[in-house]
């Protein structure tokens, strides 16, 4: 074996050790991976680590003439690299939801591997397949091609099984398996022209790591989707578990108002109906809702509580920025939490301030109350807890929630809502147009619906790119909607 071949094999061995170790660590520690997928990749990378370590050690055995180690190391390299083939068969069957124990594909692959293993053991006692001379020179025997028949047959079986189950796999799974299957095949073709180069094992390691990255991305996306679905289901469960005392108090108040103040009873029923409608509508909503809709829901809730507490509940709104969207049931639970934990019978009144403002790349909402002293236990409890709101905010729009004690009592809840891609694109268009046409920019409404035109105009107005005189539309309702509030 030439010096450059030894160096290349050593480089591939050490690189393979690094990739295998990294893959093994990720397989053990990455949480979104399914249990059986984790088990497969742990076994896969462990086998590869042993194989690549044997290749690296083989380099030193050649350099320092430890001839007695060379043949055992070649045996370990050949054995471990062959184990990857039946492991892939098991993984393919599991991906497709089939039992590997009852599969004829695995039974055939296992039988072929046992034949290969028997030949490999037989090779240690004969030179007809390959041999190592007393000087440490590796050479192939006349029956060497016989040793390759079983691995080649297993590779062919895996390829046929993969193509047969093509429709059962996702796009990423197909791509990952294609890379993993074809990389060693390409290495075999290259290795035919470079005697002594252990390229197949390294190609298998690289292919396995690439496959692992694709599968990891698939599993992570699935975990994110599942978490989002769970969050959406949680909204429904929390809505259906509204505080019975709250409903009882509302219905009791309406009962007494029917005789004493029928008009107030009608208004209370209207507010409660609106509140219930918004709550139950949130169960089926999977997308963000306009802030105006969430604010209306909060106002309906506060109107109900206002009838209960009267002048002891004072709410102030400072919301110049209302043109953004957020997950359903975001603002109302925070305000409800402020009323629930902030109202003190020994105090004259609870003051709540709801503010919005335009921030860099998004909008900010601040809810401030001067109620009782803030406690960390207030974060969750009955109803839709603030911890749940924070999780849904991060999942559904990439926003964040921060809660801090207020000096003098109460709490300050701050929310940051990032602009959507559509918002950012519209603002970018406005910036480009302002540079080109100056401060007086009139967006064209050609080909847009009234709602879409109002959306774009209002967002551009919000960021200062147009004023009410520069909206090119003959429809006054669109112009009012675009620059209103």
pLDDT digits (tens, 9 = 90+) for 388-436: 788 778 878 889 999 888 888 888 999 999 986 545 444 444 444 444 4
Q: 108 and 191 in one domain?
A: yes
Residue 87 belongs to some domain of the structure? yes
Judgement on whether residues 254 and 108 belong to the same structural domain of the protein: no
Q: Is residue 399 part of a domain?
A: yes
* Domain's final residue, options 398, 419, 440: 419
Report if residue 30 sits inside a domain: yes
Q: Which of 39-43, 181-185, 245-249 has the lowest mean pLDDT?
A: 245-249
Compute the distance between CA of residue 208 and CA of residue 210 in angstroms, rounded to an integer: 5
Mean pLDDT, to the nearest integer, of 354-363? 88
pLDDT at residue 235 in the model: 58
431 and 411 share one domain: no
- Pair of tokens at residue 337: 């939490």
Residues 95 and 147 in one domain: yes
pLDDT digits (tens, 9 = 90+) for 113-170: 999 999 999 998 988 998 888 887 888 889 988 988 998 899 899 999 999 999 999 8
The residue length of the chain stands at 485
Running DSSP on this structure, what letter comes out for residue 357? E
Are residues 108 and 54 part of one domain?
yes
**Cβ count within 10 A of residue 176:** 24
C-alpha 220: how far from its chain's center? 5
Selected residue with higher pLDDT from 394 and 232: 394
Judge whether 205 lies within some domain: yes
- Split into its structural domains, the chain has a count of 3
Question: How far is Cα 176 from Cα 1, in angstroms, rounded to an integer?
Answer: 34
One domain for residues 120 and 215: yes
Q: What is the span of the domain harbouring residue 435?
A: 422-483
Task: Name the residue with higher pLDDT: 114 or 437.
Answer: 114
Are 210 and 309 part of one and the same domain?
no
Which CATH number fits the domain that encloses residue 54?
Answer: 1.20.1070.10
Q: Report strand pairing: 325-326 vs 362-369.
A: unpaired
**pLDDT tens readout for residues 263-276:** 888 888 888 888 88
Tokens 């109900």, residue located: 304
* Residue 409 and residue 465 in one domain: no
Taking the CA atoms of 351, 264, 252 and 281 in sequence, report the sign of the dihedral they define: negative
pLDDT of residue 354: 95
CATH number, domain of 297, equals 3.30.565.10
Q: Which of 419, 435, 469 is the last residue of a domain?
A: 419
200 and 260 inside one domain:
no
**Does some domain include residue 50?**
yes
| 219 and 290 both lie in a single domain | no
Q: How many Å apart are CA 304 and CA 249, to the nearest integer?
A: 10
Verify that 135 and 217 share a domain, yes or no: yes
Report CA torsion sign: 149, 151, 154, 158: negative
Are residues 93 and 142 located together in one domain of the fold?
Answer: yes
Is residue 256 domain-resident?
Answer: yes
Residue 108, pLDDT above cutoff 80: yes
Is residue 164 included in any domain, yes or no?
yes
350-359 vs 313-318, strand pairing mode: parallel
The pLDDT of residue 373: 63
Residue 183 host element (H or E): helix 171-191
Does 53 map to a domain? yes
Domain boundary among 225, 251, 275: 225
User: How deeply is 419 buried, as exposed, middle or buried, from its count of CB atoms within 10 A (0-12, 13-18, 19+)?
Assistant: buried
Residue 375 has pLDDT above 60, yes or no: no
- Say if pTM beats, i.e. exceeds, 0.85: no
Rounded to whole angstroms, how far apart are CA atoms 282 and 277? 9
334-351 tens-digit pLDDT:
998 888 888 877 777 899
């Amino acid at each position: 074996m030439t010096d450059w071949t030894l160096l290349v094999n050593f480089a591939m061995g050490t690189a393979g050790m690094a990739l295998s170790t990294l893959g093994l660590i990720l397989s053990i520690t990455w949480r979104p991976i399914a249990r059986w997928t984790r088990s497969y990749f742990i076994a896969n990378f462990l086998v590869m680590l042993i194989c690549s370590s044997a290749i690296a050690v083989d380099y030193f055995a050649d350099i320092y003439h430890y001839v007695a180690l060379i043949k055992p190391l070649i045996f370990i390299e050949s054995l471990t690299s062959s184990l990857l083939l039946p492991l892939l068969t098991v993984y393919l069957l599991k991906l497709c939801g089939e039992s590997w124990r009852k599969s004829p594909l695995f039974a055939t692959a296992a039988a072929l591997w046992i034949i290969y293993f028997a030949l490999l053991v037989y090779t240690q006692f004969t030179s007809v397949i390959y041999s190592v001379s007393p000087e440490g020179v590796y050479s192939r025997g006349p029956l060497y091609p016989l040793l390759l028949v079983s691995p080649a047959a297993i590779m062919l079986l895996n390829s046929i099984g993969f193509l047969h189950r093509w429709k059962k796999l996702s796009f990423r799974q197909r791509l990952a398996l294609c890379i993993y299957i074809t990389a060693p095949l390409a290495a075999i073709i290259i290795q035919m022209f470079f005697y002594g180069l252990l390229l197949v094992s390294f190609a298998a390691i690289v292919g396995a790591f690439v496959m692992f990255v694709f599968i990891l991305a698939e599993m992570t996306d699935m975990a994110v989707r599942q978490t989002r679905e769970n969050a959406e289901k949680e909204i429904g469960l929390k809505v259906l578990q509204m505080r019975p005392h709250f409903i009882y108090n509302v219905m009791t108040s309406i009962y007494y108002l029917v005789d004493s103040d029928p008009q107030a009873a009608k208004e209370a029923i209207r507010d409660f109906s609106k509140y219930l409608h918004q709550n139950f509508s949130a169960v089926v909503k999977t997308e963000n809702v306009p802030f105006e809709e969430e604010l209306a829901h909060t106002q309906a809730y506060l109107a109900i509580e206002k009838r209960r507490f009267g002048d002891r509940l004072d709410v102030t709104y400072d919301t110049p920025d209302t043109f953004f969207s957020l997950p359903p049931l975001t603002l109302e639970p925070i305000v409800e939490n402020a009323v629930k934990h902030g109202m003190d019978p020994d105090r004259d009144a609870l003051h709540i301030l709801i503010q919005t403002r335009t921030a860099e790349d998004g909008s900010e909402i601040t809810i401030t109350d001067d109620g009782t002293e803030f406690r960390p236990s207030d974060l969750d409890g009955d109803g839709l807890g603030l911890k749940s709101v924070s999780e849904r905010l991060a999942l559904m729009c990439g926003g964040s929630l921060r809660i801090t004690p207020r000096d003098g009592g109460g709490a300050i809840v701050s929310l940051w809502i990032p602009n959507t891609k559509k918002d950012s694109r519209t603002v970018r268009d406005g910036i480009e147009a302002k540079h080109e046409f100056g401060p007086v920019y009139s967006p064209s409404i050609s080909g847009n619906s009234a709602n879409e035109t109002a959306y774009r105009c209002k967002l551009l107005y919000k960021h200062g790119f147009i004023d009410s005189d520069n909206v090119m539309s003959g429809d006054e309702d669109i112009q009012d909607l675009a620059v209103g509030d």
